[in-house]
Amino acid sequence: MSERPTIEFIDLKAQRQHIGQAMEDAILKVVHDGNYILGSQVGEFEAGLAAFCGAKHAIGVANGTDALILVLEALGIGPGDAVICPSFTFAATAEVVAWMGATPVFAEIDEATYNIDPKGLAAALDTARKHGLKPRALITVDLFGQACDYDPIEAFCKHNDLVLIADSAQGYGARYKGRVAGGIGDFATTSFFPAKPLGCYGDGGAILTNSDAHAELLRSLRFHGKGSYKYDNIRVGVNSRLDTIQAAVLIEKLKVFAEEIAKRQLVAQRYTEALQGLVRTPDVMPDCVSTWAQYTIRVDAERRDAFQDALKAKGVPTTVYYPKPLHQQTAYKHFPVAGNGLPISERVAREVVSLPMHPYLDEATQDYIIAAVCEVLAPARESAVV
Ligand SMILES: Cc1ncc(COP(=O)(O)O)c(C=O)c1O
């Protein structure tokens, strides 16, 4: 193997160097101007974010979790309501449903994409009804950067009068058959957590929608239920605004976002070409482009810890997203599960492991990582492929 480079799982320093002085200037401008709350950069960024994905409105909020909560609040979802969502996801997806007093109903994922399986939605609806709940919405998750299979999902929601909320925290900007995630769904939400493909330098999030009425409502809800001005409180709301400094950071990051998505394709392509056949590499649906929030492979469940340890010893960081599906977590195991359980979610959670992925991963470092994975898997090559 070649000389050991220093490998970051996600290299935000390299991105900052690439953007250069423009980032520092943008931040300092906010500091000097002093419009820290809802300064002009927030509106400018919201317009850019909406345009990028083809949505009519973008509403910047404090984080991706609040983005989901505010949508549920705007829809009046609460006790007695069911919201269908996947179990193999970050906790926020279901947490927000429970936080509103509604009931998450966990549905199965597709083994190839790890996204909610459109074929499992009918069972989830059935389960919700059997529990005496009123099915109100479906929260999809564009996991690891790949958009869900939205054509059948949209048809299902329309047929069953469900609001479609796309949690695009990881997949904002992904392409699905000519459409861009963020612009898909009745509402889409995203997170600007620093490690996300489009991240800021702290917490941040946004809601995207084509509905004028809901956009106005959401702008009010994020600002203490304001009406015509700041001290006109026409409804109960919260404080969940996107900071001006974060908006200034995001304006600069959005300028390089398309280029970064393209660079991530090259990294993913090289990984896949080298590792295919050795481990299970990610599947991207035809006519779709992932943002590669994660590059996730699968190894034998019994060997995953050893695989990670061996890579760590070679200086290659890996992470498991997510080791336990939500329906098996203490906080969520009492909520209904669709059909006869979620065996795919449970199996996948035992086998997934994500490799370093970011747009500035140079070829030499990629080659080092590939060689390390090959070496670690070599003794048990046959049994490692799942
Ligand atoms: C799928 C998903 N939904 C929601 C969130 C929540 O976003 P935030 O951390 O900005 O609240 C995340 C962030 O990790 C996420 O990955």
Taking the C-alpha atoms of residue 311 and residue 373, their distance in angstroms, rounded to an integer, is: 7
CA of 167 to the centre of ligand 1 (A): 8
Taking the C-alpha atoms of residue 44 and residue 41, their distance in angstroms, rounded to an integer, is: 5
337: in domain = yes
Q: Are residues 190 and 132 in the same domain?
A: yes
Q: What is the CATH number of the domain that holds 338?
A: 3.90.1150.10
323: in domain = yes
Atom of ligand 1 nearest to the CA of 68: 4
Q: Are residues 67 and 181 in the same domain?
A: yes
**Residue 23 pLDDT > 60:** yes
**Residue 61 pLDDT > 80:** yes
* Beta-carbon contacts of residue 72 (< 8 Å; ≥ 6 apart): 83, 96, 97, 100, 102, 137, 165
Domain boundary among 208, 228, 252: 252
CA atoms within a 13 Å half-sphere pointing along the CA-CB vector of 362: 6
Residue 190 Cβ contacting ligand 1 at under 6 Å: no
Domain boundary among 231, 252, 273: 252
Nearest CA to ligand 1 atom 14: 90
Cβ pair 336, 128 in contact under 8 A: yes
pLDDT at 59: 98
Q: Are residues 43 and 144 in the same domain?
A: yes
pLDDT at 128: 98
166: in domain = yes
3: in domain = no
pLDDT at 2: 59
Taking the C-alpha atoms of residue 35 and residue 267, their distance in angstroms, rounded to an integer, is: 39
81: in domain = yes
**Residue 208 pLDDT > 60:** yes
**Residue 160 pLDDT > 60:** yes
Q: What does pTM read for this prediction? A: 0.96
Taking the C-alpha atoms of residue 124 and residue 250, their distance in angstroms, rounded to an integer, is: 37
Residue 63 Cβ contacting ligand 1 at under 6 Å: yes
Mean pLDDT, rounded, for 65-77: 98
334: in domain = yes
Q: Are residues 172 and 31 in the same domain?
A: yes
Task: Express each pLDDT in 318-337 by its tens digit.
Answer: 999 999 999 999 999 999 99
Q: What is the 3-state secondary structure (H, E, C) of 146-157?
A: CCCCHHHHHHHH
Q: What is the CATH number of the domain that holds 210?
A: 3.40.640.10
Cβ pair 238, 244 in contact under 8 A: no
Mutate to test the pocket of ligand 1, among 89, 99, 165, 193 (most ligand atoms within 8 A of CB): 193
Mean pLDDT, rounded, for 190-202: 98
3-state secondary structure of 238: coil
Atom of ligand 1 nearest to the CA of 203: 10
pLDDT at 384: 47
Q: Which domain holds residue 274?
A: 257-384
Residue 169 Cβ contacting ligand 1 at under 6 Å: yes
Residue 65 Cβ contacting ligand 1 at under 6 Å: yes
Q: Are residues 248 and 272 in the same domain?
A: no
Mean pLDDT, rounded, for 352-372: 97
Q: Are residues 184 and 225 in the same domain?
A: yes
7: in domain = no
Residue 166 Cβ contacting ligand 1 at under 6 Å: no
Cβ pair 268, 244 in contact under 8 A: no
- Look up tokens 């974060």; give the residue: 246
Average pLDDT, the chain: 96
Element (H, E) at 188: strand 187-191
Q: Are residues 49 and 154 in the same domain?
A: yes
Q: Are residues 128 and 264 in the same domain?
A: no
Number of structural domains (the chain) is 2
Cβ pair 205, 192 in contact under 8 A: yes
- Retrieve residue 81's tokens: 């309501």
